[in-house]
Structure 1
Amino acid sequence: MSTVHDVRPGPAAATWGEARLLAGTAAGRVDLAHHRATHGRPARLDAASTTAALARVALLGRGGAAFPVATKLGAVATGPRTHVLVNGSEGEPASLKDRTLMQLAPHLVLDGALAVAAALDTRQVTVVVQDAAAHHALRAAVAERDDAHDVRLQLRPHGFVAGEVRAVVRAASGGPALPPGRRTLPTVDGVDGRPTFASNAETFAQVALVLCLGPDRFASVGAADEPGTTLVTLVGDVHRPGVVEVPTGLPLAALVGGGPGPVLVGGYHGTWLAGPGSLTLSRPAMRAAGVPLNAGVLARLPHATCALGEVAAVARWLAAESAGQCGPCVFGLPGLAATLDGLLAGQPVLAHARQRAGLLPGRGACAHPDGAARFVATALDALGDEVERHRTHGHCGRPVRGVLPLPLPLPRPTTRPEAAR
């Protein structure tokens, strides 16, 4: 395993190889003068030229969908009514990358947002965050600049589902922080009903890097199918937990260790694996393998914790985070969590758990039931031996150590285990 170096104080962050997103952050938040000395100024291009530059490096969104950024930008109408929305919500407890980036390198995020706004011929920029430290860093950064007077910062503490981009669009428009039932894209009907280019904080920072470095230099590191670097959050039994900037194309095993053992890719809407195998850290390669990187969370459970108990605790939290707008969330997720509690107690409900997880995808008002079902269903496959130990003995002999982070206090079971029979 190559050495992870350049550990920073404050938010846990490190780099593997060349620092780009985290360049210059050794002393903490980078002020404007230090930022300009490190990165210079991004090129200000029109929409067509910006789209072409992003297409040349095949830049993918760094949120959950990994959508081609050039395609999204090309779909947004230009003009003063158009809006630019930075989604810095990051509502998942296991993911720290966006809030760490906004705390340490807020000017890089703002550079990307303002460059996109200039390309779209608009001054309407909104940044939504729920982390108070990130909001403080961004507010200080805005005050240092002479080109950010129109940037609107919104601090909105909220839950997991409210960080979904369409929920953020509704909240930024003065509505409830809930995903709408209809699947209208923000590029057509976004903030205040206007065409909106919306993406997460790291995506805007990556746009800034493309425009600062130029496409050729940007693509000089990383995988051929996804050049550059990316931020990931490492959790659990790994060499160094926390946020790390890495070049794309690294073997997954280099980050989480080789050999068998439960590995979670993509966070609490992600995929459990029995081990890292030969996967490489590239969004196209991982998508082709059926293991999307999503929010960039990579977790490895140590042997000392009850893996099934860790999964059940997250399932209870996911059920509690429902927006309460549709049957799959109101009834399906609590039922699924209760069935996992039954498995923990040794009840013969594995088939029932698989059936419940299989009924959820594609039926909800948003993607929350789909992601939660994937998290549980793949865990049941990856943790087969542990599920069998619980079935045979009623326990695995290990405590639940809370390796997978959740807001405190831990959620209580949705119902008593015997109700899952």
Structure 2
Amino acid sequence: MITVDETRVIGEARVLAGLDQGRLNIQRHLMTHGPLPELSRDDYVQLCEAVGLRGRGGAAFPVALKLRDLPARGVEAVVVNGSESEPASRKDRLLLTQSPHLVLDGAVGLARALRAPHVLIAVHDAAAAMSLREALVERHDRLAVEVRETPGRFVAGEARAVLSVLEGGTAVPPGRRVLPTRQGYHRRPTFLSNVETFAQLAVLARLGSRRFSSTGLTSEPGTQLLTIGGTVQRPGVIETPTGVPLDTVLQYAGAEPGPVLLGGYHGRWLPTTEGVTLQRPEVSAGIILALGSDTCPLGEVTRIAEWLRGQSAGQCGPCIFGLASLVDDFARMTVGDPEGWYGAQRHLGLVPGRGACAHPDGVARFLTSALKVFDHDVRRHLNGHGCGRPVLGVLGGTR
């Protein structure tokens, strides 16, 4: 778990405000952020449109569009997706354990505006669930707010998998791709987003669009939370203005020189960080992993691919067979078998766009970019020499 000592801020602290003194109970939360204003549905739509607020999960969908897609009446629930099942990410769990009232403000305030009778918070982390329940005891929301614990598997954090669990089903995404705003909780219109999105909504409601837009990009102002790890001296969660240069964050965290994975295990490798700014959707789930130069890139990628194969929902061919073939391809490359390279080229062309969920696409993106960025290292392995470096496991723990 990320501790308070591992949170840092570049610029103005907004979402992480007050955490330098520890967890915010209701009194310290109100002293730090002030009371939440009562806003209407139209108020939220206008605010989100004015600042171009996007969801802070992997999809980065515009929040205003999601709100407009909901019917005028009959919204069943507001769902907070706290199933942060990406091993490299810590930002949502940090908010749930250290600043739960900010997340609750965002969810409850929006539920009132939408006249939704339920707020459901899905979490797979026991400490986050306990923190939320303690926070709910301190509040008087006059609204049904329920914390539900979910499995910690990678695909269990996908929005439709979360809805399935909340309804008593299995933690896998169904094959149908219907938006939660149309058919969500109990097949009724539902607003669902991740933890940081609701915290940002609570900040936006208090600041208003003008003050919210005083930092960050013109196209999407405000701040963002980033989890940075790998070969860095100061890993943890960092709040930065949107659009901050990647090199600035890497220097701030004390990263070793070397390749960088942007977006986590469904993200992509960067050949260079020069000129890269951190903004959605490019930054995706807000994960930055520095590889350094002391570990074997191909071995690191193969290790994560093996773990991702085990996280498959097991409900479609691209996951069951495609990912297994890709893991075998990469394992063969590490021992110098050129057939592994040819197999990877073939399978990477077959997997994307054919799965029941986004998992095969994400894995293919991760592996395709690895072959491009680590081409020199791959060729050394295929020439029978290897790269001479061990696999240190710097890309994070795989739970």
CA contact (8 A) 1:167 1:177 kept: yes
Higher mean C-alpha deviation, range 238-247 or range 58-67: 238-247
Q: For residues 156-187 of structure 1, what are the alpha-carbon distances to aligned partners after superposition, in whole Å with 9 as ceiling and x for unaligned?
A: 23300011001101111111111010111100
Does residue 1:296 correspond to 2:286, yes or no? yes
How far, CA to CA, are the matches of 2:121 and 2:95 in structure 1?
Answer: 14
Q: For residues 351-370 of structure 1, what are the alpha-carbon distances to aligned partners after superposition, in whole Å with 9 as ceiling and x for unaligned?
A: 32122112111100001000
How far, CA to CA, are the matches of 1:189 and 1:245 in structure 2?
Answer: 34
Question: What residue identity is the alignment partner of 2:266?
Answer: H
How far, CA to CA, are the matches of 1:106 and 1:358 in structure 2?
Answer: 43
Does residue 1:133 correspond to 2:157, yes or no? no
Higher mean C-alpha deviation, range 273-282 or range 74-83: 74-83
Task: Give the counterpart of 1:86 among 61, 80, 86.
Answer: 80
How far, CA to CA, are the matches of 2:225 and 2:336 in structure 1?
Answer: 39
Q: For residues 88-115 of structure 1, what are the alpha-carbon distances to aligned partners after superposition, in whole Å with 9 as ceiling and x for unaligned?
A: 0010101111111111110000000011
How far, CA to CA, are the matches of 1:99 and 1:150 in structure 2?
Answer: 22
Question: 1:225-236 to 2 correspondence within 5 Å?
Answer: 225-236=219-230
* Superposed displacement of residue 303, structure 1: 0.7
What SS is found at the alignment partner of 2:370?
A: helix
Does residue 1:173 correspond to 2:199, yes or no? no
Does residue 1:271 correspond to 2:268, yes or no? yes
CA contact (8 A) 1:260 1:275 kept: no
Question: 1:232-247 to 2 correspondence within 5 Å?
Answer: 232-247=226-241
Q: For residues 358-385 of structure 1, what are the alpha-carbon distances to aligned partners after superposition, in whole Å with 9 as ceiling and x for unaligned?
A: 2111100001000000000000001111
Task: Give the counterpart of 2:351 among 357, 360, 364.
Answer: 360
How far, CA to CA, are the matches of 1:11 and 1:128 in structure 2?
Answer: 26
Match of residue 67 from structure 2 = 73
Question: What residue identity is the alignment partner of 1:269?
Answer: H
Does residue 1:326 correspond to 2:316, yes or no? yes
Match of residue 89 from structure 2 = 95
Q: For residues 227-283 of structure 1, what are the alpha-carbon distances to aligned partners after superposition, in whole Å with 9 as ceiling and x for unaligned?
A: 011001111123521111111121111122599731111111101111212111122
Unaligned 5+ runs, structure 1: 1-7, 409-421
Task: Give the counterpart of 1:23 among 3, 12, 17.
Answer: 17
Task: Give the counterpart of 1:388 among 370, 373, 379.
Answer: 379
How far, CA to CA, are the matches of 1:373 and 1:244 in structure 2?
Answer: 28
CA contact (8 A) 1:219 1:228 kept: yes
Question: 1:8-407 to 2 correspondence within 5 Å?
Answer: 9-10=3-4, 12-79=6-73, 81-147=75-141, 150-257=144-251, 261-283=258-280, 287=281, 292-348=282-338, 349-407=340-398
* Superposed displacement of residue 394, structure 1: 4.4
Question: What residue identity is the alignment partner of 1:120?
Answer: L
* Superposed displacement of residue 43, structure 1: 2.0
- TM-score normalised by length of structure 1: 0.90
Question: What residue identity is the alignment partner of 2:79?
Answer: L
How far, CA to CA, are the matches of 2:345 and 2:93 in structure 1?
Answer: 35
Question: What residue identity is the alignment partner of 1:361?
Answer: P
How far, CA to CA, are the matches of 1:88 and 1:18 in structure 2?
Answer: 25
* Superposed displacement of residue 296, structure 1: 0.7
Identity of aligned residues (%): 49
* Superposed displacement of residue 20, structure 1: 0.6
How far, CA to CA, are the matches of 2:242 and 2:371 in structure 1?
Answer: 29
> Between Structure 1 and Structure 2, how many residues are aligned?
394
* Superposed displacement of residue 336, structure 1: 0.2
How far, CA to CA, are the matches of 2:45 and 2:130 in structure 1?
Answer: 31
What SS is found at the alignment partner of 2:383?
A: helix
Match of residue 417 from structure 1 = none
How far, CA to CA, are the matches of 2:5 and 2:46 in structure 1?
Answer: 34
How far, CA to CA, are the matches of 1:397 and 1:51 in structure 2?
Answer: 55
How far, CA to CA, are the matches of 1:42 and 1:155 in structure 2?
Answer: 27
Higher mean C-alpha deviation, range 148-157 or range 67-76: 148-157
Does the C-alpha gap of structure 1 residues 397 and 148 become closer, same or farther in structure 2, counting only changes over 3 Å? farther
- TM-score normalised by length of structure 2: 0.95
CA contact (8 A) 2:256 2:292 kept: no
Higher mean C-alpha deviation, range 369-378 or range 383-392: 383-392
Q: For residues 27-60 of structure 1, what are the alpha-carbon distances to aligned partners after superposition, in whole Å with 9 as ceiling and x for unaligned?
A: 3210001111111122221111210111101101
- CA RMSD in angstroms comes to 1.6
